[in-house]
Amino acid sequence: MSQTPDSAVRTYIEQYRAAFLDDLAEWLRIPSVSAQPDHAPDVRRSADWLAAKLTETGFPTVEVWETPGAPAVFAEWPAGDPEAPTVLVYGHHDVQPAAREDGWDSEPFEPVVRGDRLYARGAADDKGQVFFHTLGVRAHLAATGRTAPAVTLKLLIEGEEESGSPNFRALVERRAERLAADVVIVSDTGMWSEDTPTVCTGMRGLAECQIVLHGPDQDIHSGAFGGAVPNPATVAARLVAALHDEHARVAIPGFYEGVVELSERERRLWAELPFDEEGWLREAHSYATEGEAGHTTLERVWARPTAEVNGIGGGYQGPGSKTIIPSSALLKLSFRLVAGQEPDHIEKIVRAWATERIPAGIRAEITFLPATRPCLTPLDHPGLQSLARAMGRAFEGPVRFTRSGGSGPAADLQDVLGAPVLFLGISVPSDGWHAPNEKVELDLLLKGVETSAYLWGDLAENWRHAT
């Protein structure tokens, strides 16, 4: 009896499971910590290792791309059909720092399997989730009898994500023609839980600023001068107090301009997620929820823009008293942005808002860091529907939708390439990204392989019908 496509994929994955995990363990042994200069040779070794493995997988074009920092890896495998869509998979091969004394139960760069879990730095973030595409594309070919993928498949695997991607956007801009794609798949994300497979549909953007307030040329006596000259610490406090209204909405005029509101369908789907607010508070090490009125906790974190005070300081903060008017004060603010908001607009209105509230006698220095734009893919996008179907086949059940409250380089790909971004990740919250004893669930890792194997054919077929 001939196998069904799904059973053929699963048979292939089971046949090559051991070799796949052995290869992944070999890669995980390379301590590619981009944040630590002494590991720069290891980051390069990681890039070279991946390039060799992608060549072995069958990609006819594999290149290591240099940047002013760590190298990235690019690979391309053209589809047999010139009309097929082009897909770019993004991930990263660098990892967070890790040492046994941080609290690891074993050496972080010596992979260990305990039960159904693989422990090592990078197991989930992000080497495991990059590497499942190598077995996935081979399973896709074996099950369909193809000699090339159903889509033109490109990979861009960054080497500096854990260091803030300082050279990533410039790399994408410089290589935009080679990276051109109809859709981008980001495999540097996760699911709701082991029992609830989900697809993330978007990430918030980020704008950050620092406001330094200068008053007197030096600290001065609060008795001799207090009440008669402006106090920069008081001005800082007033700015913070003016940041939100009584309903926890950001009170900066124009802040909500362009915000794409949640659809009723998405609100309903999120309400169906098994969200344990008390458990979430424990993860947040907090004791109560708070936020914009009229929205649930998940809505506030995933789909609403925010303004947060990341730091505030100024004046004497040592033991006892020192009755002064400080010469300066400092604020650090961050703004998480949602679809429809533009960082340039946010910078403009924040500068105007702050300047209007700064009295004579106070000089302000307002500095913005490079911003990240938000990205969002609509629920009815054909690529998103293909991804949900592929994951549903792998997990043999319904797939739900989430967003991410964080920000990342995915938005740069969307901006520069003009392609929608989809998120394919199988990691779960217990995997401990950036923490001691990072791990990946082996069953979920292989579900990622399976999803990848199904996705390319579904995308090719349904993209053509949709477009």
Per-residue pLDDT at 417 exceeds 50: yes
Answer for the pair 442, 21: CB distance below 8 angstroms, yes or no: yes
Q: What is the pLDDT of residue 151?
A: 98
Structure tokens belonging to residue 136: 């996935």
Averaged pLDDT, 306-326: 96
pLDDT of amino acid 164: 87
In the structure encoding, which two tokens stand for residue 278, read together? Answer: 């008390």
Residue 321: how many CA atoms within 13 Å on its side-chain side?
5
Residue 152: name the closest of 64, 60, 54, 48 by CA.
60
Average pLDDT over residues 138-166: 96
pLDDT at 242 over 60: yes
Token pair recorded at residue 198: 């989900």
CATH 3.40.630.10 for domain 5-202+375-466:
yes
pLDDT (tens digit, 9 = 90+) per residue, 162-205?
A: 998 999 999 999 999 999 999 999 999 999 999 999 999 999 99
Span 46-83, pLDDT tens digits: 999 999 999 999 999 999 999 999 999 999 999 989 99
Mean pLDDT of 430-438: 95
pLDDT surpasses 70 at 448: yes
* DSSP states of 269-311: HHHTS---HHHHHHHTT-S----STT--HHHHHHTS-EEEEEE
Residue 258 has pLDDT above 60, yes or no: yes
For the chain, the structural domain boundaries read 5-202+375-466, 205-259+305-368
- pTM for the complete prediction? 0.91
End-to-end, the C-alpha distance of the chain in Å comes to: 36
Q: Per-residue pLDDT averaged across 119-130, rounded?
A: 98
**Average pLDDT in the 339-347 region?**
96
The pLDDT of residue 312 is above 90: yes
What's the confidence (pLDDT) of residue 1? 37
Q: Which of 367, 237, 243, 239 is nearest to 305 (CA)?
A: 243
On the question of pLDDT at 411 being above 90, the answer is no
Mean pLDDT of the chain: 96
> What is the predicted pLDDT for the residue at 285?
92
Residue with the bigger pLDDT between 465 and 181: it is: 181
- What pLDDT sits at residue 5? 78
C-alpha atoms less than 13 angstroms from C-alpha of 447 in its C-beta half-sphere: 27
Q: Can you name the CATH fold of 205-259+305-368?
A: Alpha-Beta Plaits (3.30.70)
Q: Is the pLDDT of residue 3 over 70?
A: no
Say what percent of the chain tops pLDDT 90.
94
- pLDDT-derived band at 4 (thresholds 50, 70, 90) equals low
Per the listing, tokens 């070799």 go with 19
The lowest-confidence range among 113-122, 260-269, 374-383, 408-417 is: 408-417
Distance, in Å, from the CA atom of 49 to the CA atom of 157, rounded to the nearest integer, reads: 12
Question: Which pLDDT band, with edges at 50, 70 and 90, does 406 fall under?
Answer: confident
CA neighbours within 13 Å on the CB side: how many for 331?
Answer: 27
